[in-house]
Amino acid sequence: MGEGRCFPTPPDGGGGLLPRGCCTPALPDGSLRAARAGLAGRVLPHDSSGGGRCHTLCESLLSYGSGFNNFQGIFNWSVVLLVLTHVHMSLENFIRYGLLFDPVKIISVFLKDPYKWPAVYLIAASVLFALPAVFIERYLRKVRGSESIGLVLQSVNLLLLVTFPAVMVYRMQAITPAGGLLTMFVYIIIALKLFSYYQVNRWYREGTPRPVRGTSRMQADPSAHQSRRNERGQSKQIVYPMNLKVKDLYYFLLAPTLCYQLNFPRQKNCRQGYIIRRFIEMIFLFHLMLGLIQQWIVPNIHKSMKPINEIESTLLTEYILKLAVPNHFIWLIFFYWYFHSCLNCLAELLRFGDRQFYLDWWNADSVLQFWSRWNIPAHKWLDRHVYRPLLHHGYDKWQARMTVFLLSACFYEYLIAIPLKMFRFWMFFAMAAQVPLACLMKRLFGGNFGNIFMWISLVLGPPLMMLLYFHDYYIQHHRKDSSWRLFFF
């Protein structure tokens, strides 16, 4: 039996396994060694390392090398601050201007004289330009060697589609900017659809579509191989020239796509609940956009009664920043309203199966990537009928991409300048500068910084364009009119 021994007291004066000054009872030498070994292997409650160490090699939590990526709490905090900030802005706007939104007054303007809606009549007349397209294609199918004549007829029809509404909107004073904008938008959509209709039918008349350099035949003409795909709810496939029917063309004109093909993916039936939800969204978001325009946009523009070239730079910067937030909200609401609610509702009514109307443009790391993701129908049309054909004819990617943006710039200027009856070409130059600017930003920034630059351009760019165009128009035509006068047809 060995004599009892005392274990030393820990330096911190506590936290050990034995009380202060506690001695072990007399144990055999072997038992004492075993007890010591057991204590050495046990972990102290205040020491997670097991070896008397409380520090390890590590980075701070917010450092890049820490590997920490759970910032959900910071995201929630940002959302709370964002909501509080905009509640304050809304309350300040209401205290200063009162309630300006009046949907009843807008509806009364429509119902007061329903026979004086020139924009509605122009839109209804747009479907008449589709009828010649079917007869031209039937003629080209029957008469061999008439491609040159058909090209002339098709060009004349497309030229009328573009010039007729432009002349009418520009010369008719009864058409407001909103009505003119909607009219030009509808006619551009029909013109793009008919161009695709002509092109695809020409591919079928000539036989197998020629593959584009660097692409497969399916990429060059997806409609030629659509019958090989597994489509839901459609077993009978249409073949050329059985597609040259008025019914087939008008379905394509109503379908939420710009690219024609013989057999579209179709669903088996319509979901009534889905249609009702999308329709409610359409009505609510439309009035929300009108309310934001009347409550926020018009008062800020109305505060200045000078043309844009007479405003001081500091005051102009203030106007841009004041318009940035409400304008960006309206733009985001419009995106959801049109690309999600409207197009999905229309697709469900027509049982149209391809619902890819947009991609994750909010994650784009460049302006070019944004334009290729936020409007998929237009992107597919430009890629199929402009970009790839240019590559096929020997142009390099830079030239083809620049041509695409110049064509888009013409469309945007056409949409804005004619309804406003003001040719400033600011939108044209802004769109044309996207390609070199995007290439420069890609070299300087990328990844997360490129995404930040994309968001800055989206938040500040549209307010600047709004001031450049709508400010002068508002000052010239609507100084003494009510705010709602800008928005009826």
My answer on whether 360 and 255 are in the same domain is no
pLDDT higher at 282 or 325: 282
pLDDT at 224 over 70: no
My answer on whether 313 and 211 are in the same domain is no
DSSP, residue by residue, 9-37:
PPTTSS-SSS-TT-BPPP--HHHHHHHHH
Question: Reduced to 3 states, what is the DSSP secondary structure of residue 248?
Answer: helix
pLDDT band at 486, cuts 50/70/90?
very low
For position 93, what pLDDT does the model report? 82
For position 485, what pLDDT does the model report? 41
pLDDT band at 112, cuts 50/70/90?
low
pLDDT at 334 over 60: yes
Q: Which residue among 214, 236, 269 closes a domain?
A: 269
Of 154-158, 213-217, 274-278, 413-417, least confident by mean pLDDT is 213-217
Average pLDDT over residues 40-57: 60
The four Cα atoms 83, 85, 91, 95 give a dihedral, to 10 degrees, of: -170
Which residue carries 């009418």 as its tokens? 168
pLDDT higher at 64 or 208: 64
For position 192, what pLDDT does the model report? 94
Q: Is residue 164 part of a domain?
A: yes
Q: Is residue 473 part of a domain?
A: yes
For position 223, what pLDDT does the model report? 44
Q: Is residue 441 part of a domain?
A: yes
My answer on whether 240 and 367 are in the same domain is no
Q: What is the DSSP letter of 6?
A: B
For position 110, what pLDDT does the model report? 63
Q: Which residue among 222, 249, 269 closes a domain?
A: 269
My answer on whether 179 and 154 are in the same domain is yes
My answer on whether 264 and 337 are in the same domain is no
- CA-based nearest residue to 136, from 188, 191, 224, 201: 201
- Taking the alpha carbons of 478, 483, 487, 489 in that order, is the dihedral positive or negative? negative
For position 275, what pLDDT does the model report? 94
For residue range 421-467, what is the model confidence (pLDDT) as tens digits? 888 788 888 888 887 887 787 777 767 788 888 888 888 887 777 77
Show the beta-strand stretches assigned E in 228-375: none
Average of per-residue pLDDT values in the chain = 78
Q: Is residue 158 part of a domain?
A: yes
For residue range 244-270, what is the model confidence (pLDDT) as tens digits? 999 999 999 999 999 999 999 998 888
Number of domains in the chain: 2
My answer on whether 252 and 346 are in the same domain is no
My answer on whether 472 and 423 are in the same domain is yes
Q: Which residues, 6 or more positions from 118, have their beta carbon under 8 angstroms from its beta carbon?
A: 168, 172, 174, 175, 179, 489
pLDDT higher at 382 or 321: 382
Q: Which residue among 269, 287, 308 closes a domain?
A: 269
My answer on whether 291 and 385 are in the same domain is yes
For position 465, what pLDDT does the model report? 79
My answer on whether 279 and 186 are in the same domain is no
pLDDT > 90: percent of the chain:
24
**Residues spanned by the domain of 145:** 117-269
For position 342, what pLDDT does the model report? 95
| Best mean pLDDT range from 65-69, 144-148, 223-227, 381-385 | 381-385
pLDDT > 70: percent of the chain:
75
For position 475, what pLDDT does the model report? 66
Q: Quote the pTM value.
A: 0.76
Q: Is residue 378 part of a domain?
A: yes
Q: Which residues, 6 or more positions from 244, have their beta carbon under 8 angstroms from its beta carbon?
A: 134, 137, 138, 141, 201
My answer on whether 261 and 290 are in the same domain is no
CA-CA distance, 48 to 38, in Å (whole number)? 17
